[in-house]
């Protein structure tokens, strides 16, 4: 078996407000292995983002333990490129914060920008770029720190549908190429099936693990867009849809 990168054991999390205590997560346990893409899917407001914040160490779990073997990179819902910095300065932001700006790390970022088609846009400001390019720049800003595990928190949800398909395909390829492990939070069932090796389905609040799907698709072209043609795709979709039990 591959190396365990993230190990969650009976993780619970409670929010405290003046009105009282809200249970957000309850006894969540699962592992993420090296090179694996794990999707986390669940009803909106169930605490998916909280779970990512716990894995990244931004929040401490109320109970249970979190073990992470490796450096974590975080991708938020929007690209959050700083409007007052050009693409180059944005890409270096994380390195700047961690005071690890060296000739070598700069060269690495420069290489990433060139490799992923932003080399000529180094001196452009974010508002001069398309949504897809901005997302790529945000990804490079994260990759600049050479993380082992990437946490994607609805990272594509701010994009329109076509861009979103294209970008998730692109990000998938980049992450596979750079041999990263990823935990992907999404509310889009198709996106989860097409990108992930496993999908953790969470329940309503307090969220617990309802079911974990191993996604095995028979398709020649193992990319998110290629995968959507796989015969099993619909079965997974229907099964997860039922599991989510959405009532409006």
Partner 1 sequence: MYEAATPHISKEHREFLKKVKRKNVLIRVTQFALLIVFFATWEIVARYKIVDPFLVSQPSRMLKTMMILSQNGSLFMHIWVTLSETIIGFTLGTVIGMIIAILLWWSDFLSKVAEPYLVVLNSLPKIALGPIFIVWMGNGEAPIITMALAISLIVTIISLQTGFKEVDDEKIKLLKTFGATKMQILTKCILPASIPTIISAIKINIGLSWVGVITGEFLVSKAGLGYLIVYGGQIFKLDLVMTSVLILSILSALMYIFIVYLEKKLIRWR
- What are the backbone angles phi and psi of residue 200, rounded to the nearest 5°? -95, 120
Q: Does 96 bind partner 1 (CB under 8 A)?
A: yes
Tell me which residues in 133-162 interact with partner 1 (CB under 8 A).
145
Q: Based on CB atoms, which residue is closest to partner 1, 48 or 208?
A: 48
Coil, helix or strand for 63? strand
Q: Based on CB atoms, which residue is closest to partner 1, 127 or 162?
A: 127
Closest to 223 (Cα-Cα) out of 180, 165, 136, 182: 165
Q: Based on CB atoms, which residue is closest to partner 1, 99 or 242?
A: 99
Q: Based on CB atoms, which residue is closest to partner 1, 52 or 165?
A: 52
Report yes or no: 215 and 196 within 8 Å, Cβ to Cβ. yes
The DSSP code sequence of 83-152 is TTS-HHHHHTHHHHHTT---HHHHHHHHHHHHHTT-GGGTTS-GGGS-HHHHHHHHHHHHHTT--SEEEE
Q: Does 33 bind partner 1 (CB under 8 A)?
A: no
Q: Based on CB atoms, which residue is closest to partner 1, 56 or 197?
A: 56
Distance CA 105, CA 118 (A): 17
Distance CA 59, CA 223 (A): 33
Tell me which residues in 41-70 interact with partner 1 (CB under 8 A).
56, 58
Q: Does 125 bind partner 1 (CB under 8 A)?
A: yes
User: Least distance (Å) from partner 1 to the CB of residue 110?
Assistant: 19
Distance CA 39, CA 52 (A): 11
Q: Does 105 bind partner 1 (CB under 8 A)?
A: no
User: Least distance (Å) from partner 1 to the CB of residue 98?
Assistant: 6
Q: Does 76 bind partner 1 (CB under 8 A)?
A: yes
Q: Based on CB atoms, which residue is closest to partner 1, 156 or 213?
A: 156
Report yes or no: 118 and 128 within 8 Å, Cβ to Cβ. no
Q: Does 233 bind partner 1 (CB under 8 A)?
A: no
User: Least distance (Å) from partner 1 to the CB of residue 190?
Assistant: 25
The residue ranges that bind partner 1 (CB under 8 A) are 56, 58, 72-74, 76-78, 80, 82-86, 93-94, 96-98, 125-127, 145
């Amino acid at each position: 078996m591959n190396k365990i990168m993230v190990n969650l054991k009976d993780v619970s999390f409670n929010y405290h407000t003046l009105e009282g205590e809200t249970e957000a997560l309850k006894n969540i346990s699962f592992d993420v292995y090296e090179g694996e893409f794990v999707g986390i899917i669940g009803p909106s407001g169930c605490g998916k983002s909280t779970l990512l914040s716990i894995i990244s160490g931004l929040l401490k779990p109320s109970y249970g333990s979190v073990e992470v073997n490796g450096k974590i990179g975080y991708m938020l819902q929007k690209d959050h490129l700083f409007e007052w910095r050009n693409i180059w300065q944005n890409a270096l932001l994380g390195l700047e914060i961690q005071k690890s700006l060296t000739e070598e790390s700069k060269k690495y970022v420069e290489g990433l920008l060139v490799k992923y088609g932003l080399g000529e846009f180094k001196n452009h400001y974010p508002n001069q770029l398309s949504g897809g390019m901005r997302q790529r720049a945000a990804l490079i800003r994260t990759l600049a720190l050479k993380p082992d595990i990437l946490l994607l928190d609805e990272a594509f949800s701010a994009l329109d549908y076509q861009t979103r398909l294209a970008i998730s395909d692109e990000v998938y390829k980049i992450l596979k190429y750079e041999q990263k492990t990823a935990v992907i939070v999404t509310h889009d069932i198709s996106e989860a099936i097409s990108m992930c090796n496993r999908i953790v389905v969470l329940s309503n609040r307090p969220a617990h693990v309802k079911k974990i799907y191993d996604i095995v698709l028979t398709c020649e072209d193992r990319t998110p867009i290629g995968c959507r043609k796989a015969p099993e795709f619909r079965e997974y979709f229907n099964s997860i849809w039922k599991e989510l039990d959405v009532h409006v």
